[in-house]
Amino acid sequence: MKKDANRITIHDIASELGLHASTISRALSDNPAVSKKTRELIKAKARELNYRPNQMAAALRRGRSDMLGVIVPAIDRNFFASVIRGIEEEANVAGLHVMVCQSYDDSERERVLVEGLQAMRVDGIIISTAKDGLNDADFFKSISGSGTPVQFFDNMPAGLDAAAVVINDRRGAYAATKHLIDQGRKRIAHMRGPQHLDIYRERFAGYQDALKEAGLECSDALTVDINSHFDNGRKAFAHLWSRDLKPDAVFSASDYSAAGAMQSAQEHGLSIPADVAFVGFANEPFTELMTPSLSSVDQQPLSMGRKAARRIMRRIKNEAVEKERVILEPSVIVRGSSAS
């Protein structure tokens, strides 16, 4: 019975060839000090024995793991999946592995994940923090002070001066609202995300910017709170529509809520976009599949992931602490829900 490949070490190869383990190590890492002949001999034997280098041992010895940890609230949101794809693209060419973890928007779990990744000695952590409002800037300060570089993207704890790649949420919201104004809408409602989070406060502010600029009223009666879920958006629209001041357009800080709202509007017998126009946020793929298709704000997730990866990889190499924020510009994708 052949020995398990997992258990085969450079020593096994060494003894089979009458060489020393250090030579094997050198040959396998293409150290020019070893002669071409023996190197090829060694590589052939390694293949024959189905040898797999033990990454943990190597990592322990070298002091780095060549692993990047990524923490996102949930991988089934296309935004996060795309960011991860961007990260992987960059990391893979640099020979780094990517460990993806989900916080499920639970800050407690998030802490456990961060500590777990640190325990694995990942070379760096890329994270969009949980949106339950319970995460703690101090915790992240202590982490980045602890030797593991942390790179934020999208969402991050308020009041933290750290490396981040974000989009200009305010401008995105402004542009979305402006687009609705340009379509002649006068009573534009906003379904806004949790206001304890920067990104949603910014989106609310951008919405207000556009209204003010156009001299439109910015009434509480046109604002409703949502939590990014479909059913919630449905209820939010019903709520909005039950008030005296009926909107002729809705800008939602979330595609999911916008989708729910659209469905509710249709159930109210409203025609879209004639009676009410809709714009969402995140440009999830399903927005294209709806009838009518849902306009949305694109957040450049791929580019966000690539930039985040590049930046943290630079920091890993330089040991430098670069704290700037990279700010990407979003764009409004106009579809059937807001244009005839």
Partner DNA sequence: TTGTAGGCGTTATCAG
Partner DNA sequence: CTGATAACGCCTACAA
Q: Rounded to the nearest whole angstrom, what is the least distance from the CB of residue 67 to a copy of itself in the complex? A: 8
Angle, alpha carbons 322-328-301 (nearest 5°): 100
Map the footprint of DNA across residues 17-46, applying CB under 7 A. Answer: 18-23, 25-26, 28-29, 33-39
Asked if residue 314 binds a copy of itself (CB under 8 A), the reply is: no
**Could you tell me how many helices (H) and strands (E) the chain has, helices first?**
13, 12
User: CB under 5 to 8 A by kind: which of DNA, a copy of itself, none does 213 bind?
Assistant: none
Q: Facing residues of 97 across strands? A: 67
55 lies in the site for a copy of itself, by CB under 8 A: yes
Residues 6+ apart with CB under 8 A from 338: 179, 180, 183, 249, 273, 277, 278, 279, 295
Q: Give the nearest distance from C-beta 174 to a copy of itself in angstroms.
A: 27
Distance of CA 285 to the CA centre of its chain: 16
Task: Give the C-alpha separation, 58 to 81, whole Å.
Answer: 30
> CB-wise, 61 or 76, nearer to DNA?
61
Helix (H, G, I), strand (E, B) or coil at 153: strand
Interface with a copy of itself, residue 74, by CB under 8 A: yes
Helix ranges (DSSP H) in 164-300: 169-182, 198-213, 230-241, 255-267, 286-289
Which of these segments, 8-16, 109-117, 241-249, 303-311, binds DNA (CB under 7 A)? 8-16
CB 251 within 8 A of CB 188: yes
The residue assigned the tokens 């920091």 is 315
State the minimum distance, in angstroms, from the CB of residue 58 to a copy of itself: 8
Does residue 98 bind a copy of itself (CB under 8 A)? yes
Return d(Cα 315, Cα 322) in angstroms, integer. 7
Residue 133 interacts with a copy of itself (CB under 8 A): yes or no: no
Tokens of 106: 């639970």
Single out the segment in contact with DNA by CB under 7 A; choices: 3-11, 177-185, 228-236, 243-251: 3-11
Residue 153: partners with Cβ closer than 8 Å, 6 or more residues away: 83, 126, 127, 128, 164, 165, 166, 304, 305, 308
| Residue (16 or 66) nearer to a copy of itself, CB | 66
Interacting positions 39-98 with DNA (CB under 7 A): 39, 51-54, 57-58, 60-63
In the complex, the residues that contact DNA under the rule CB under 7 A are 7, 9-11, 18-23, 25-26, 28-29, 33-39, 51-54, 57-58, 60-63
In the complex, the residues that contact a copy of itself under the rule CB under 8 A are 2, 4-7, 50, 52-57, 59-60, 65, 67, 74-78, 81-82, 84-85, 88, 97-102, 115-116, 118-121, 142, 145-148, 230, 259, 263, 266, 285-286, 288-291
